[in-house]
Amino acid sequence: MIVCRRPASGPLNHSKWLRAALRTVALAAVTTGLFLVGQPASALMANVCMQTNYTAHGKTQTLTCTANDVRVARATNIDVTSGGSCEVVNGVKKCSCSQGGNVTFTADYEVLLTAQARYDIGIYFGVDGDPNGDGALSGTCKLTTLDNTNSTNFINLDPTLTPASKAQPNDVCGDIDSAHNPQLLHLTLTAACEPGPDGKLKLPNCTSWRESGANETCDEASDAFPGAPSKCNCEPGFEVDIFVETATIEVTKTATTLTVPETGGNVTYSVAVKNLAQQASLTLDTLTDNLYGDVTTTGHDGITATTCTLATIVAQETYSCSFTVSVPAGDKGQTIVDTVTACGTDSFQHTDLCDDDDATVTYADVEEAPELTKTVSALNCAIEATYQVVVTNKSSQDTLTLNSLNDNKFGVITSTHVAGSGFEQVTETDCSVPKTINPSGNYSCSFKGIINSCSLSHSNTVTGGATDDDGASYSPTGSATVTIDVK
């Protein structure tokens, strides 16, 4: 057993006595839980969270951190050295890390003052993903200070304690005032790659400070602790611009052949696989269909052709391919529903990243006309013909109103009429007016008429009367000829 004894006489300075004790005994490192022997106290105490450090200096209060005098405003100049990567995309640097692991990165942190001068600034970074949700009050943290080794404008506002010159850095805790605001803190940290509210690296932190009169000379980082329970600020939601991701994919399957004859035939499907990641690429491991199996190969399960391969898809890109299958006969109205599933591995080695989508093809009726035999017992010149009329609106922006449909031989084709009306007979019609035809749309109808002619051909012309929504009038025409084949 190792026993640490306090000085025999004189007032007890908790922090100074604690540092002396720490230099002579083995301590349990906060980050690992292992006992480390012979390590400098400053190195050990650099891995400590704020409430733990505050308590270690003989303070019994629970930190409330209700002030906002000093805070970490943002992180810039980020560079990932392990556990992730950075690359420049369209002139913009993007960094990412693999969720569930650790990421080591370097950044400049902007430390911002929102009050009068503050002293002995401590910055605690929670590097464990903040499971307790308290910023860096507890858990596993990295403590640093605005010291002369990592701050771009280290200052000491109390030269009576130590020299103010950067060249004589006896005080390792820097101060901050309005003339040196903000300050940049350059650090390399290793943290758990876990996402914050916006999907970026969660780096919760707390800052501590002291006010004039409560400051002292810091011999080591652990001397940077709050001057009172409220003299601190915690930001559990702080994020660094490093995307935290496991690649996700989105599969879209479409039947380019929507129907197939009930006698069977070929059906072609298109498949699109999008990599939704911001940074990670994804390599397909399998691309399968629940009815047809592996869609990257042919010669099995009815697959007759394919362009699909096990491709690598970069972030935010889509891979597209198609395959064709021969389907057997079915009944009219019956559907074929099948699902394609894509699975892959991302560039962070996350496996079994899958998505699926289905498509439906419907069997269509195949009509076979009956055979009809006709014998003639009498011959006359009257025959019945069916005419189809299609009026197409060629405008892509104006609506067309069809007001009339007239034929030069049959007269008005929107109603039936018999012999004696001055025109040939209209025996049946589904044509009607007025009709509204949308831009680029059409209106189709048909009528039957008896031709009272013994000539070998019969020609007639339909004329429509129409106006568009701008008030312009039109008279489109269309002609048709019935040929009488006499043998």
Q: Is the pLDDT of residue 180 over 80?
A: yes
What is d(CA 50, CA 98) in angstroms, rounded to the nearest whole number?
28
Per-residue model confidence (pLDDT) at position 323: 98
Identify which of 50, 59, 64, 211 has the alpha carbon closest to the alpha carbon of residue 142. Answer: 50
294-302 CB contacts, 8 Å cutoff, 24+ apart:
295/271, 295/323, 295/340, 301/325, 302/326, 302/327
What is d(CA 97, CA 118) in angstroms, rounded to the nearest whole number?
35
Per-residue model confidence (pLDDT) at position 379: 38
Q: Is the pLDDT of residue 63 over 70?
A: yes
Question: Can you tell me the mean pLDDT for 409-427?
Answer: 79
Residue 307's SS3 state is coil
What is d(CA 70, CA 177) in angstroms, rounded to the nearest whole number?
10
Per-residue model confidence (pLDDT) at position 64: 95
Whole-prediction pTM:
0.53
Tokens 């001068």 sit on residue = 117
pLDDT category at 381 given cuts 50, 70, 90 is low
Per-residue model confidence (pLDDT) at position 124: 96
* Candidate CATH numbers 1.10.10.10, 1.20.1250.20, 2.60.40.10, 3.30.360.10; the one for domain 382-483: 2.60.40.10
DSSP 144-209: EES-TTTBTT---S-TTTS-SSTTS----S--B-GGG-SEEEEEEEEEE--B-TTSEEE--EEEEE
What the block records as the tokens of 367 is 């009509």
Tokens 């013994």 sit on residue = 454
**Distance spanning both ends of the chain, measured CA to CA:** 125
DSSP 355-419: EEEEEEEEEE----PPP-----S---SEEEEEEEEEEE---SS--EEEEEEEETTTEETTS-B-T
Question: Can you tell me the mean pLDDT for 235-243?
Answer: 93
Tens of pLDDT, residues 280-336: 889 999 999 999 999 999 999 999 999 999 999 998 899 999 999 999 988 889 999
Q: What value, to the nearest 5°, has the Cα angle with vertex 394 and ends 390 and 399?
A: 95
DSSP 62-73: PP-----SEEEE
String of b and e for 142-172 (b: at least 16 CB within 10 Å)? bbbbbbbebbeebbbbbeeebeeeeeeeebb
Share of the chain above pLDDT 70, in %: 80
pLDDT category at 367 given cuts 50, 70, 90 is low
Q: Is the pLDDT of residue 30 over 50?
A: no
Of the listed ranges 7-11, 147-151, 267-271, the one predicted with least confidence: 7-11
Residue 434's SS3 state is coil
Q: Is the pLDDT of residue 393 over 70?
A: yes
pLDDT category at 481 given cuts 50, 70, 90 is low
What is d(CA 435, CA 446) in angstroms, rounded to the nearest whole number?
14
Question: Can you tell me the mean pLDDT for 162-171?
Answer: 50
Name the strand (E) or helix (H) holding 19.
Answer: helix 14-22
Q: Peptide bond before 439: cis, by omega within 30 degrees of 0?
A: no
Q: Is the pLDDT of residue 485 over 90?
A: no
Tens of pLDDT, residues 457-469: 667 788 888 888 7
Q: Is the pLDDT of residue 446 over 80?
A: yes
166 HSE (CA, 13 A, CB side): 10
Mention every residue, 6+ apart, whose C-beta is less than 8 A from residue 483.
456, 457
Per-residue model confidence (pLDDT) at position 62: 96
Per-residue model confidence (pLDDT) at position 232: 96
Identify which of 305, 438, 319, 449 has the alpha carbon closest to the alpha carbon of residue 387. Answer: 449
Identify which of 414, 421, 418, 409 has the alpha carbon closest to the alpha carbon of residue 389. Answer: 414
* Candidate CATH numbers 3.40.50.300, 2.60.40.10, 2.115.10.20, 3.30.70.330; the one for domain 249-364: 2.60.40.10
Q: Is the pLDDT of residue 5 over 50?
A: no
Per-residue model confidence (pLDDT) at position 136: 94
Q: What value, to the nearest 5°, has the Cα angle with vertex 51 and ends 48 and 52?
A: 45
Of the listed ranges 31-40, 106-115, 194-203, 356-365, the one predicted with least confidence: 31-40
In the chain, the largest separation of any two C-alpha atoms, in whole Å, equals 142
Q: Is the pLDDT of residue 391 over 50?
A: yes
Q: Is the pLDDT of residue 278 over 80?
A: no
What the block records as the tokens of 378 is 């009498």
pLDDT category at 421 given cuts 50, 70, 90 is low
Q: What is the dihedral of CA 20, 22, 25, 28, to 10 degrees?
A: 180
What is d(CA 248, CA 282) in angstroms, rounded to the nearest whole number?
9
Q: Measured in whole angstroms, how far is the alpha carbon of residue 447 from the centre of its chain?
A: 55
Residue 79's SS3 state is strand
Q: Is the pLDDT of residue 8 over 60?
A: no
- What is the DSSP secondary structure assignment for residue 12, as one 8-state letter? -
Question: Can you tell me the mean pLDDT for 175-183?
Answer: 91
pLDDT category at 159 given cuts 50, 70, 90 is low
Per-residue model confidence (pLDDT) at position 161: 53
What is d(CA 130, CA 283) in angstroms, rounded to the nearest whole number?
32
Mean pLDDT is highest, among 29-33, 34-38, 365-369, for 365-369
Q: Is the pLDDT of residue 148 over 80?
A: no
Q: Return the higher-pLDDT residue of 373 and 372.
A: 372
Tens of pLDDT, residues 192-238: 999 888 889 999 999 999 988 787 778 888 989 999 999 999 999 99
Strands 70-82 and 84-89: unpaired
Residue span(s) of the chain under CATH 2.60.40.10 come to: 249-364, 382-483
Mean residue pLDDT across the chain:
81
Residue 309's CB is within 10 A of a number of other CB atoms, namely 12
171 HSE (CA, 13 A, CB side): 25
DSSP 319-349: EEEEEEEEE----TT-EEEEEEEEEEEETT-
